[in-house]
Amino acid sequence: MKKLCSVSLFCLALLCSINLLSQDDQQNDTDRYTASNKGKFFVSWGGNRETFTDSDITFKGDAYDFTLSDVTAHDKPKGWHIDYINPANMTIPQTNFKMGYFVSDKYTISLGLDHMKYVMTQNQSVKIDGTINLAPSEEGSLYNGTYQNESIVLTEDFLTFEHTDGLNYIYTEFSRYDDISSIFKINNTDKFQTNLTEGIAAGVLYPKTNTSLLQKERNDEFHLAGFGISLHAGLNLTFFKHFFIQGDLKGGYINMSDIRTTNSSIDSASQHFFYFQKVIAFGGIFRI
Q: What is the pLDDT of residues 240-263, one digit of tens each?
A: 999 999 999 999 999 999 999 998
Distances (CA, A) of 121 to 161, 172, 208: 9, 31, 18
| Confidence (pLDDT) at 91 | 64
Domain with residue 136: its CATH number is 2.40.160.20
Number of domains in the chain: 1
| Confidence (pLDDT) at 20 | 44
Tell me, rounded to whole angstroms, the distance of Cα 39 from its chain centroid: 27
Structural domain that includes position 54? 4-286
| Confidence (pLDDT) at 272 | 98
| Confidence (pLDDT) at 187 | 84
Q: How far is 226 from 17, CA to CA, in rounded Å?
A: 45
Residues of the chain with pLDDT under 70: 1-30, 79-92
pTM of the prediction? Answer: 0.87
| Confidence (pLDDT) at 213 | 94
Residue 63: closest CA among 159, 134, 145, 129: 134
| Confidence (pLDDT) at 24 | 43
Q: Are 42 and 109 in contact (CB under 8 A)?
A: no
Total count of residues recorded for the chain: 288
Q: Are 162 and 154 in contact (CB under 8 A)?
A: no
